[in-house]
């Protein structure tokens, strides 16, 4: 009897303002990590809270690289409706 392999979806969801702040060049390090996740067949979606123009730009890059989705919430209360 053959063992059937089940393909599992690997997906991360981040609740964030999308602006990394740690270390040198944190935006590039974030994009590098997102590329590594993509290579491991992990998609990433973002629920953006209070996104600035720079945060929105980075969030769009993240979902583009990782084949995820972006949901914008104006407040934490709005997050329930997204889920």
Q: What is the residue extent of each domain of the chain? A: 10-82
Would you place residue 3 in the very low, low, confident or very high pLDDT band (cuts 50, 70, 90)?
low
45-66 pLDDT per residue, tens = 999 988 999 999 999 999 999 9
Partners of 71 in the β-ladder:
47
CA angle centred on 44, ends 29 and 47, rounded to 5°: 100
**What DSSP character marks residue 59?**
H
Q: How many CA atoms lie within 13 A of 67 on its CB side?
A: 11
For residues 19-29, give the mean pLDDT. Answer: 89
Q: Is the dihedral of CA 32, 36, 41, 47 positive or negative?
A: negative
CB-based contacts of 2, cutoff 8 Å, min separation 6:
none
pLDDT exceeds cutoff 80 at 31? yes
Res 22: pLDDT = 85
For residues 33-41, give the mean pLDDT. Answer: 95
Tell me: domain 10-82, CATH 3.40.50.410, correct?
yes
Position with higher pLDDT, 21 vs 12: 12
């Amino acid at each position: 009897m053959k063992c059937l392999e089940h393909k599992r979806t690997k997906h991360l969801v981040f609740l964030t303002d999308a602006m990394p702040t740690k270390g040198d060049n944190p935006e590039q390090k974030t994009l590098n990590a997102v590329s590594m996740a993509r290579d491991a067949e992990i998609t990433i979606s973002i629920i953006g809270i209070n996104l600035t123009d720079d945060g929105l730009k980075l969030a769009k890059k993240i979902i583009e690289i990782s084949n995820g989705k972006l949901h914008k919430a104006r407040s934490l209360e709005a997050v329930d409706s997204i889920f």
